[in-house]
Structure 1
């Protein structure tokens, strides 16, 4: 047996009676002895309802006797071996096998097809896993970029700390390539160790994530198995090492270009705005990247998920490539000193801020240009991979704007009379250091922005879905609360008189507000009647879906909520349902079918008034033209989906069988009373194999499952945020060590320990809050764009989880204080004499 629903003791006799012999009057079946369980068998594709069947492994002769077939008569043939996973070999076997069947059994006259079942199962599983992996890839990419910024920051700090020794090496004859090689070699050793550790930790994190999925799906009796391979471990190590190594090489290029004299004397680097040939090379590199993504638009398949992302990259890289050229032009055409509205400006100080502002505004404009203006963008569908460049460059634009205006804000705060009176020189002193290191400050702000951005976007999406799905219970049940289910193989063949149904004790049909018996079967769908095509051509060109026949009780009780209906035919939803139940030419379709079925190359799906041709699933010659007059709300898919038509039409034309019963109960019943009633009904109707569900409970369980998955993703992103904060702790430790002499000078000038402590806290608060605020603001704008594209058309209200966002920001700030508490305390304990002592 492959089904555990039937409990049979070993060696117990079981009687089997086939449908055909039963119809011909045979009442006694063939008795067989139960030998054991053979486990689960794979579901055959295109075979509806096999989940509720009992599969039996038995002798072929006995099977022929039970089925009432002649010797050698078969309905299915299973073939294995011959390396049929190879698509070419399978296609060749398919052609030869069909020819052989046609020669031996005239198979061409019947509905015979060959299906690659194992490959279909594998492809279905791979598709599901790729969707989950793609989600982690999209949101994990922000964490990866934040890690890259952290690596750059650390090695820039190391270079500045060793500036004197580097200047001495350069003075002794070391060339820039040799210095770059030294940095890369040193960093490579560290990256090998860190990549190895990171790969092992990644496997552990993957185990925790799989454990979360296993707990989540346990309510559905599904098993989520954790699996890893050495190839994935090696791939993670290699990718991590390559990303780190490339980052090191680019950072070493910057570190090797130091001024020898300034380095020997430990003087600050002169960050002037001198433009050289290097800017031209950077510009050419960015334009080359833009051209590369432009070429991808012509190379990639029209259904590729990378098209929209490639087009966005064309714009982003073009904007970035234009900035160096614009900077060179402004550098040569703007005077070193100029005056605007009686305000004096220096070209070298104002030009970088102007360029950063122009660049940031251009990036944000390119991100938010509507499809009506950018028609190329409108021709490509936004996919999950589009969110990677959209998110990264939006956050980068925010960082550029903050870098431009941060000095002005700091200057205002430093000169505030109230703050100066309260805290003295601590504020201006604390903010002076991050302003003197704009690159390092920008890297930390960007790191925080990316991690906060990803968490807030996911939280916003989760909250928006929660708001949108609040109506799913009403959409799924309408005015009905209980759903009884059967199957095509075992339909609910009940009497027409409800009172004669096998009701539980102390219950009857009169207790319900309404009872509706729905009929179900599969149909084939085409756009128009085609009398010239062959049966095989009709079958190949038709789509497959299912039809539900509704009775008057279902319509008179309001049916299910509709998102749209033909108001020229009916003024209310109830009237349109009654119209469908009384006329066989009208149908109502669910939202999934309406969106995915394309009429005559129309990619907008089905519209009200469209004509469909429904064919009998087993006999394409039986067909019926119907008109779409309504579309169900999306939540109805959680209980009933399909093409809703008149009961008689579904039964007579398409052989629909009764498989669903909708029960409407009085409003005074609680959810617990509904559960008890559903169990009683299930027990009472056991001879019909009917299972009864409380629709509200089932919908809430599905919603809980989705929210649990969102929680797993948020936990994964929160882990990246914690790693970023831990990185800030490392950066703070290096900063305290680097500024030990400066701290000693401040102590010698009269700064007390508490002032040093408060100064470092203020500095960290300034940097971290800038990053958090930027991440939150960009995430809100980004989420609004998602809402405008995906949710506004559904009538959903814009929603942001403000309490959750505040909790994230507050929690992240507390973690910042926690991870930096030790180095800050160490800095406040520095003694002036110890710090000012010069040790060679």
Structure 2
């Protein structure tokens, strides 16, 4: 890759190297100017090696995520680039032909005189970029291996000029070396590896190829590598047919095209990647020559048109695009984990400061300044950081290779078999430096925070009770410095307001947040963008709460209100938001922002109100048995309500089930306390101690919640979309598609099957025909905009008369889908179009150069008929069609894609249609996959390709589920942050509470009770984070799924559901891993000797 977000990666690398150097310089300056604090910072690292290991593991995650994302992008870029070069070899440009009378013919289906190559060579003999031309005749033909009895319905037979191809490298043998093309006989063929594997062909075998129903025998002269010259047009995926190369005269004789070719390859000067830089200028000169009357006359093209194809340059550009896309996608997915990692870094240094609080207080008492403490912590953090960055970069590459790339190949199989692991030094530098710089900034900020302490309270081991900060005196020197520094707003505001006017932090943060929030809301409303508006409205309560806290407002009430506001705002249905604030647009950035804000709101509610859980643990209290009974009754009521709602309410029943599970869990906790009263002290301690330190507990809950939220959201949405788009409606009312071969036409499928005699066509209930993937038509809304690519297809009468496909949108004036189909069948110039042409936020798959309708969106139900101009850009034929219906978005593009009109309207614009695709509806009870295989076997010598639509959809859904698992696993890496945080907390708790443990043991607590207390503390934190993430994600996913703007399709007959199996599985895994991490320190706490702990200093 060369760019990310439009910025050159080399520039990003150098900028990060400068920032990394600045970080090192800052630590080096500490070493030179204050060596004592430098050594104080470093001496703490080897003291507790287990803890230091956990710290390194926690700090490495940001680097791991970033490096894995860049490695994935590098691999895709490298793999696609290598595939393009391997397949095209010296074909840098291609020239295809179009005919005046063949407007519906795709490239390769119009033939030109082979003498065109010699005329081109003469015309461009002195061209500075073009090295030469060599011809091809590509023909898809069925092939049968007479020796092994294996057959392939479609193999591309490439006719080559041995002498011309040899001048530009020739072909490559599979076992190494190059074949002697001059020695290739008239009845011999070189078979590509792909075709050889499918036909089990070996040198000396005889292959039969069929053209116009007649067999032609060819002897296998050798096995060559897959490339364009050996007939393999493309790479990757099982749908790419194998190829064979024979003499040009041989292919011309077999296909009855004597003296003709259908493609010319252009080799540019230079070697390897050097030729790509010449592609643009050479293509422009060629196009100008081919479009000119003089050029066409010189080449003797007559009525033919020629088009220059820049497939190599386009393929390399596509590699760059895919690399950028996947890097960005994985970076976005990793933002939750990176955010959790930042919280962990902050929390680690807060805990390290808490451990050394007395030591820090004594140091301050003897003259150490706050800056010195910052220097010590910064030094220690940088030492951890450098090691964590190296470990994270290495593990990031390993993660990308094993999880992302290995998992992708495992899921997709042959589709992505071309992927080759690859990482560049530049990506490693960016990943390492970005991770280190991000961690260093967090370390410095946390160091500044922990350096602020009350000296007396710290020495005595007491909590800080800071009086309310007042305003300091104005220092005009800082005011004067701050004014020009406003060019860098954060620094300028700090110098001006804090250092200059001496304002307390609350007076800066509160009003600034309120003003910024208001400005962001105004910006969002003005631009119609949801991101700034939602961010602004979320900042308002947070800033107000910070200001209220300064004036001693009740913390629990204030922050609970903020939590409720954030939860209500971010979990409200989209329709209600539109009615309250107006309709605004959002994209994938809302996924990240919504997750952060929902987690913030739920965390505030939990840390300020979770103490209420202790009221459920009421063993020994009169009437205590009522609590679990009441909770059990409420859980049963929620479950009954969920069952009663069923599929109604857009998934409200599923949320009721989730509520029932939560209440039942509380009932089980209360019942356990009642049944085992000896465990009550452990239960209460397990809740009370984490809430004694809200900051630490809140950050750990937020870490777990962020990751669980992201995984749950992806799991729930993927499960619902898979179910929505894999139902009966997705088949479009058909069961099997049959694509025919142009060299062996099948005008009547049923009659041809009866003639073959091996397959009974009686299983076919209905059949219809359309034109296949022919031509490259263009379209635009009448009189508006530029021409853009979009296929125009003709359908016969049966295609519209018996079509049962659903329509998402209908033009006004049509009461039913059947009326629309009948109108298109019987009236001139009416058309249907697939959903890809309808604008929709997040409509993935529609390229920027594809035609889009205007004046409607996928959330509309009706629209005014839209007049569309269509044309063949080569022949210039042009006409108009009126779109009156849009096919269901549940129908995949492989089944229906393009503008569909009747054959009479099509013929008026493009000429008589050539039908190549059959749609079959089968008799009830017939198996689509078995029928497709039967048709393919019966007509294998005619090159027919038959596919079961249901099987294709199931395969597509399987791939979707597989990729979803990979994305979930990638995001699940962030769980290591939460687990590492619990481990750090558990280790620190044992040290901090050593005397408390001794006192509890002296009062009669048993070892098991002490160990259980620590386990329950970790369980409380982990479960609160997990449940917060699951509940928030489930509600938000339900709201999104019930939004027409988000799904872009009808959900009639379908209701939102939660994939309980998946959710329970990863919740259980996360919780068990958290317990395992806290088991070791819990055992250590239980083994603390009582007398030794009480004497602990």
Shorter-chain TM-score tier? 0.7 to 0.9
Deviates more, 1:443-452 or 1:371-380: 371-380
* Residue 325 (1) aligns with residue 528 (2): no
Query: Which residue is 1:357 aligned to?
Result: 560
Residue by residue over 1:588-622, the C-alpha shift from the partner in whole angstroms, topping out at 9 and shown as x without a partner, is 22121244754457667994622223334543344
* Residue 507 (1) aligns with residue 759 (2): yes
The verdict on how the C-alpha distance between 1:57 and 1:586 changes in structure 2, with shifts beyond 3 A counting, is same
Q: Which of 718, 727, 731 is residue 476 of structure 1 equivalent to?
A: 731
Deviates more, 1:165-174 or 1:586-595: 586-595
Mapped contact 2:759–2:935 kept (Cα < 8 A): no
1:122-201 matches, within 5 Å, as: 122-201=316-395
Q: Which of 818, 822, 825 is residue 1076 of structure 2 equivalent to?
A: 818
Query: Which residue is 1:117 aligned to?
Result: 311
Query: Which residue is 2:444 aligned to?
Result: 249
Mapped contact 2:808–2:1049 kept (Cα < 8 A): no
Query: Which residue is 2:924 aligned to?
Result: 667
Cα distance between partner residues in 2 of 1:166 and 1:39? 69
Root mean square deviation of aligned Cα: 4.5
Query: Which residue is 2:935 aligned to?
Result: 681
Cα distance between partner residues in 1 of 2:744 and 2:1077? 64
Shift of 1:806: 2.6
Cα distance between partner residues in 1 of 2:1090 and 2:377? 33
Shift of 1:311: 4.8
Residue by residue over 1:504-558, the C-alpha shift from the partner in whole angstroms, topping out at 9 and shown as x without a partner, is 435343442223232233464545667xxxxxxx9x9323222332233334433
* Residue 389 (1) aligns with residue 593 (2): yes
Cα distance between partner residues in 1 of 2:286 and 2:870? 31
* Residue 13 (1) aligns with residue 265 (2): no
* Residue 261 (1) aligns with residue 433 (2): no
Q: Which of 736, 748, 768 is residue 516 of structure 1 equivalent to?
A: 768
Shift of 1:450: 1.1
1:539-550 matches, within 5 Å, as: 541-550=786-795
Shift of 1:567: 8.1
Shift of 1:275: 6.8
The verdict on how the C-alpha distance between 1:625 and 1:769 changes in structure 2, with shifts beyond 3 A counting, is closer
Mapped contact 2:700–2:981 kept (Cα < 8 A): no
Mapped contact 2:563–2:604 kept (Cα < 8 A): yes
Shift of 1:186: 0.9
Query: Which residue is 1:733 aligned to?
Result: 987
1:450-599 matches, within 5 Å, as: 450-471=706-727, 474-478=729-733, 480-486=734-740, 490=742, 493-496=745-748, 498-501=750-753, 503-520=755-772, 521-522=774-775, 524-526=777-779, 541-565=786-810, 568-569=813-814, 571=816, 573=818, 576-595=820-839, 597-599=851-853
Shift of 1:61: 15
Cα distance between partner residues in 2 of 1:251 and 1:416? 45
Cα distance between partner residues in 2 of 1:772 and 1:145? 16
Shift of 1:326: 4.1
Query: Which residue is 1:337 aligned to?
Result: none
* Residue 39 (1) aligns with residue 294 (2): no
* Residue 211 (1) aligns with residue 406 (2): yes
Mapped contact 2:779–2:790 kept (Cα < 8 A): no
Deviates more, 1:546-555 or 1:366-375: 366-375
Cα distance between partner residues in 2 of 1:14 and 1:580? 51
Shift of 1:386: 2.4
Residue by residue over 1:232-263, the C-alpha shift from the partner in whole angstroms, topping out at 9 and shown as x without a partner, is 22222212212221221111112111111111
Deviates more, 1:493-502 or 1:380-389: 493-502
SS class of match (1:465): helix
Cα distance between partner residues in 2 of 1:98 and 1:764? 70
The verdict on how the C-alpha distance between 1:458 and 1:698 changes in structure 2, with shifts beyond 3 A counting, is same
Shift of 1:813: 2.1
Query: Which residue is 1:338 aligned to?
Result: none
Query: Which residue is 1:690 aligned to?
Result: 944
The verdict on how the C-alpha distance between 1:372 and 1:87 changes in structure 2, with shifts beyond 3 A counting, is farther
TM-score, normalising length from structure 2?
0.64
Deviates more, 1:34-43 or 1:770-779: 34-43
SS class of match (2:745): coil
Mapped contact 1:584–1:626 kept (Cα < 8 A): no
Mapped contact 2:268–2:278 kept (Cα < 8 A): no
* Residue 805 (1) aligns with residue 1027 (2): no
Mapped contact 1:502–1:685 kept (Cα < 8 A): no
Unaligned regions of 5+ residues in structure 2, if any?
A: 1-86, 89-139, 141-153, 159-172, 174-178, 189-213, 472-503, 625-672, 840-845
Query: Which residue is 2:611 aligned to?
Result: 407
The verdict on how the C-alpha distance between 1:192 and 1:375 changes in structure 2, with shifts beyond 3 A counting, is farther
Q: Which of 721, 724, 748 is residue 975 of structure 2 equivalent to?
A: 721
Shift of 1:316: 3.8
Cα distance between partner residues in 1 of 2:697 and 2:523? 35
* Residue 448 (1) aligns with residue 704 (2): yes
Cα distance between partner residues in 2 of 1:86 and 1:308? 46
Deviates more, 1:827-836 or 1:651-660: 651-660
Deviates more, 1:712-721 or 1:138-147: 712-721
Count of matched residue positions in the alignment of Structure 1 and Structure 2: 786
The verdict on how the C-alpha distance between 1:462 and 1:271 changes in structure 2, with shifts beyond 3 A counting, is farther
